[in-house]
Structure 1
Amino acid sequence: MKNWTKGIFAAGIMAAAMFQSASAETIKVGSKNFTEQFILAEMYAAVLENAGITVERKINLGGTLIAHQALVAGEIDLYPEYTGTALASVVKGEMSTDAEKVYTQVKDFYAKQFNLTWLKPSGINNGYVIVVRQETAQANNLKSLSDLAKVSKTLVFGGGAEFPDRADGLPGLKRVYDAEFKEFKQFAKLGLRYDALEQKDIDVANGAATDWQIGSKNLVPLADDKGLFPPYYVAPVVRQDVLMANPKVAELLEAVGTHLDNEKMRVLNAKVETDHEEAKDVAVEFLKENGLLPK
């Protein structure tokens, strides 16, 4: 009986060691379903691989809640997320324009509720930007969201699948600005909204601060004069068990963020969307240029 018990105990230790070794050797990197996410996920994957860690890529999972659920379920081990998006879609907390307050609120909630860790945020603050065509802005004297609210019932809004339900989406525009639109048209891909604006299929769209299109398609971003939108700093969100098994992961991922800001991200996004380069190639080139990968 004693030998049998020892055998079971030894087998248990071996199984635990094998599990820990597996989680230390393979990390599943995920992303949401747009260009910036693809590039960031490829950056994370590349620095991990350069450190000798085997990576499984699960790119283009879907929207925020799909990626979040995959992380909680262990289908992925990490992905890039935005503080304001997490606050609105997952935490469902009080909106704030204080970047540190939003980050702390999100970080604490994820740790307690999901055993997930928000690492240090990057320099990318990819906030929502509401845009209109230049001619629409001129015809209606639009400079701010307060101006937009005065004529919103005559305009068609185009946005992503999450925007009608998010606290910082259509409900927020109604709550803070009393803005209601003639119609809402949903677009699966971000770039399609800008095409629809250009083709006059819609009049207003929600974009993001790092979208290259805003500066190149005669679009006017409207000022959020009442502070609806929170900060949207991007950071890696990682399962706590993965960080415990792989202590160097946090340092590797956070190093990527120190080299990024909105202007650099716009350039990287444009390389993929206008120059048709692969997200992986763009990511690796950037990492090499900034000394995070050997040339």
Structure 2
Amino acid sequence: MELTRIVRALLLLAFMTCLVACAPPRSSHIVIGAKNFTEQVVLGELLAQEIEAAGGGKVERRFWLAGSYLCQQALVSDRIDAYVEYTGTALTAILKQPLERNSAKVDATVARLYEQRYQVRAGPGLGFEDTFAMVVRGDDARRLGLKAISDVAKLAPQWRLGVGYEFAERPDGLAGLNAAYGLHFVGEPRTMELGLLYRSLAAHQVDIVAGNSTDGAIKALDFVALEDDRHYFPPYEAVPLVREDSLKRWPQIGVAMQRLAGKVNADEMRAMNLAVESQHRDAGDVVREFRARKGL
């Protein structure tokens, strides 16, 4: 019996040693993350380049992380030091707070809870919002006189809907939208990667999609983003989230965030997205040109 206890203790010790050995070491350089769509890659590159320009050394890019939840886990587990999030997403999807439409209240709640729960600082906004947008083909909008989401209610029983995986499950996503507008689309919504939504809309595989207001493809493909006339969606201001211990270790991150505060408007974000998505330009080059125009 005593031997069994000793063996168990040794096995437990070996297991714990293995866990420690296998844990990723604290990085010796700054790591910036981004989600898995074009705008996030552009914003991640913008933050990374500005940190490098502030003297933070070579920044590692960990882009194309599969959505908000994975970015959040990477941040709190010290796999990345910072990434850009949207306040409405942070409020509802990450912090699990009720929907709130007042921007100042959203900002205050997000900043307070990230600090309290995760020792993460919400930086100053970059200057634009990227809200969810219900997007239709331009010829359908003109032919049917569609301007607002409310206009779709009468058509929904004959229309097919396409959404991203995250939007289908989020508290500020599909279920609440359908309830707010009384939408009842034909069949189950088609869920797919964000990059496929507009292709499916253009190919008439779906009739309406839940996209993003700053997507470059909306203008490039002659699509129309419908007005959220019942103000369902909360504010989605783009803000950097950064670990407090990373800020202490690398104050250049804070310098970069202050330099970028208010520097990007929605039209500029849309243009950068378009350059990467439709013109197939390198995100790094697009960001460098933007920073040069801004005197950064």
TM-score when normalising by structure 1: 0.86
Instruction: Report the counterpart of residue 194 of structure 2 in structure 1.
Output: 189
Q: CA deviation at 1:121?
A: 0.7
SS of structure 1 residue aligned to 2:153: helix
CA contact (8 A) 1:115 1:239 kept: yes
Q: How does 1:230-245 map to 2 (within 5 A)?
A: 230-245=234-249
Give the whole-Å Cα distance in 2 for the aligned partners of 1:282 and 1:109: 34
CA shift at 1:215, angstroms? 2.1
Once the two structures are overlaid, the 10-residue window that deviates more, 57-66 or 213-222, is: 213-222
Q: Which amino acid aligns with 2:189?
A: F
Percent sequence identity is: 36
Instruction: Letter of the 1:36 partner, please give it.
Output: E
Deviations 1:197-237 (A, max 9, x none): 11100001011121122223232222211111111110110
- Equivalent pair of 1:121/1:234 in contact (CA under 8 Å): yes
RMSD between superposed Cα atoms in Å: 1.7
Corresponding residue for residue 38 of structure 2: 35
- CA distance in 2 between counterparts of 1:237 and 1:205 reads 28
With normalisation by structure 2, the TM-score equals 0.85
d(CA) in 2 for partners of 1:235, 1:143: 29
Deviation at 1:140, TM superposition (A): 4.5
Superposed CA offset, 1:148-203 (max 9, x none): 1233222111111101111221111122122122231122133x211211110000
Structure 1 residues 96 and 62: CA distance shift in structure 2, 3 A? same
Letter of the 2:42 counterpart: I
Of 112, 115, 126 in structure 2, the residue corresponding to residue 111 of structure 1 is: 115
Structure 2 alignment gaps of length 5 or more: 1-25
> 2-side partners of 1:143 and 1:194: how far apart?
19
Does the 8 A contact of 1:122 with 1:254 survive in 2? Answer: no
Q: Distance in 1 between matches of 2:208 and 2:194?
A: 16
Q: Which residue of 2 aligns with 1:66?
A: 70
Shift in Å at residue 286 of structure 1?
1.4
- Residue of structure 1 equivalent to 2:291: 287
State the partner residue of 1:174.
178
Task: Describe how 1:51-90 pairs up with structure 2 within 5 A.
Answer: 51-54=54-57, 55-90=59-94
Counterpart residue identity of residue 281, structure 2: E
Q: Give 1:199-238 correspondences, 5 Å limit.
A: 199-238=203-242
Gaps of 5+ in 1: 1-21
The DSSP-based 3-state class of the residue aligned with 1:259 is coil
CA shift at 1:289, angstroms?
Answer: 2.2
Task: Tell me how far apart the structure 2 counterparts of residues 232 and 254 of structure 1 sit (CA, whole Å).
Answer: 19
SS of aligned partner of 1:225 = coil
Deviation at 1:141, TM superposition (A): 4.1
Aligned AA for 2:193?
A
- 1:49 is aligned, of 34, 49, 52, to 52
Once the two structures are TM-superposed, the CA of residue 50 in structure 1 deviates from its matched residue by: 2.0
Provide the rounded CA distance (Å) in 2 between the counterparts of 1:128 and 1:147.
17
Q: Measure the CA separation in 1 of the matches of 2:75 and 2:97.
A: 20
C-alpha displacement of 1:115: 1.1
Q: Does the Cα contact within 8 Å between 2:51 and 2:252 map onto a contact in 1?
A: no
Tell me, yes or no, if the aligned pair for 1:30 and 1:41 is still in contact at 8 Å.
yes
Q: Which amino acid aligns with 2:150?
A: S
| Distance in 2 separating the partners of 1:53 and 1:135 | 49
Aligned to 2:153: 149
